[in-house]
Amino acid sequence: MSTGTAGGPHTDHGPRDAGTAGATGPRDLGALRRLAVATLEANWEHDHTVPSRTLYPHQWSWDSAFIAIGWSHVRPERAWRELAGLFRAQWLDGRVPHIVFNPALRVGSYFPGPEFWASGLAEGAPAVATSGLIQPPVHAPAAWLAYRRFPSGAGRAALCRLYPRLVAQQRYLATRRDVGGGGLACVVHPWESGLDNSPAWDAPLAAVPADAAVMRAYRRHDTAHADAAHRPTDLDYARYVAIVASYRERRYRDDDLAARHPFLVECPLVNAAMGAAEHALARIAPLAGADPGPHRERAARITEALVRRLYDPTTGTFHPRDLRTDRLVPARTVLGLTPLVLPDLPARQVSALVAEACSARFGLAVRMDRPLPSHDRTAPDFEPLRYWRGPSWMNVSWLVRRGLLGHGRPDLAAGLRDSMIELVARSGCHEYFHPDTGAGLGSPAFGWTAALLLDVLADDPPG
């Protein structure tokens, strides 16, 4: 367990979380807001918010971005501390690590911990221990939203200090990670996508040699706090470990990935987030005395490359591209819907993605009877309990909703908003939810669920 919380004594929003929410019902929005604020307060550390007190006791990259959006509604200064704390761990090459480790926690309190990553051996790593991977670059849009929610002088100063670091993050992805040469960034590990065990990675992972028995040498932290049937399998983890070992062996260098690395995939979400980040930076740039033009140009190039390389007109959705085979992965997952966040996505692709989202595979509607799943619910490998292989998640629903609002579909966005609120009203601020019943799964008192609930309750239009 983490120590030293600045938000007061730790409160367990586990079983009581679900019971309290169920008693309030979906119409008691004030009670839901109080629940969300209490969850964030209980997860606050000295300069960041942990995703949860049980499964995730350190700082995670895209969690902090989403959490900053929530803090901007109630404690704006914490939104900036959240982002500033994360970017203090930025590597010299511009990468923002997906985990920043709390040195106050004992060794072995989380797997894979700092001793596994050994980031201190890598050139350009920060003094604090981190992982060597990245996560979707949702930070520039989060920073812009945080400022727009509460546009103070202090917020503007914090945003301007963050701007060059956000630019460096984008530069890293656009240069070091364009392994395919087509203008898109690739991920070198499923964890970098944020959707760890999505069926989108099954085919690329199958080519990574691994033996589940390898995991006997490690103690998984996640299955000590959550049902193993809800988590990635030991074989998944054996492959995750093998991929990290390959990257770590070369001290997380990116100069010869194509020649040696076993997992190289262009992810729709990571690249859609990268394009959305350039649009956000174009808005931030004038405040920082910079030219927004190059950001707009890069955003247009990313959108064009994403459509050219990852859109399949036959399926009408986006798919990851496995650079090892130069083929699109056939799985239809929620990743394919996330390019809706791009304001310059062509109308043809917008219409196709809306049709895909409204199909039986995902069930988006003005009035939804079930939440948005993370995987095609008609697919034979749909698993309603297992992490990213079916369950519903607040953050991807939030991203899809933002895209729908931006492309003139407030009716569908409203249906998705109501579904998101209903999940928390029924089950509390869980990490993820059963895609049929809405039951809470994973960790209780989860940070980004609380934060993004605050944002949808505010119901601001996109900007």
Cis amide linkage into residue 343, ω under 30° from 0: no
DSSP reduced 3-state for 461: coil
Number of Cα atoms under 13 Å in the Cβ half of residue 54: 16
Q: Note whether 321 and 315 are within 8 A (CB).
A: no
Q: How far apart are CA 63 and CA 401, in angstroms?
A: 18
Residue burial 196-229, b: 16+ Cβ < 10 Å; e: rest: bbbbbbbbbbeebebeeebbeeeeebbbebbeee
Handedness of CA 3, 91, 388, 31 (dihedral sign): positive
Residues that are catalytic: 196, 431
Q: Note whether 265 and 184 are within 8 A (CB).
A: no
Q: Which of 419, 394, 401, 372 is nearest to 461 (CA)?
A: 401
Return the bridge partners of 311, or none: 318
DSSP reduced 3-state for 170: helix
Distances (CA, A) of 168 to 90, 94, 124: 9, 5, 14
Which residues, 6 or more positions from 39, have their beta carbon under 8 angstroms from its beta carbon?
Answer: 13, 17, 429, 445, 446, 447, 449, 450
Q: How far apart are CA 331 and CA 353, in angstroms?
A: 15
Q: Phi first, then psi: what are they for 137, rounded to 5°?
A: -80, 70
The alpha carbon torsion through 168, 171, 175, 178 (nearest 10 deg) reads: 120
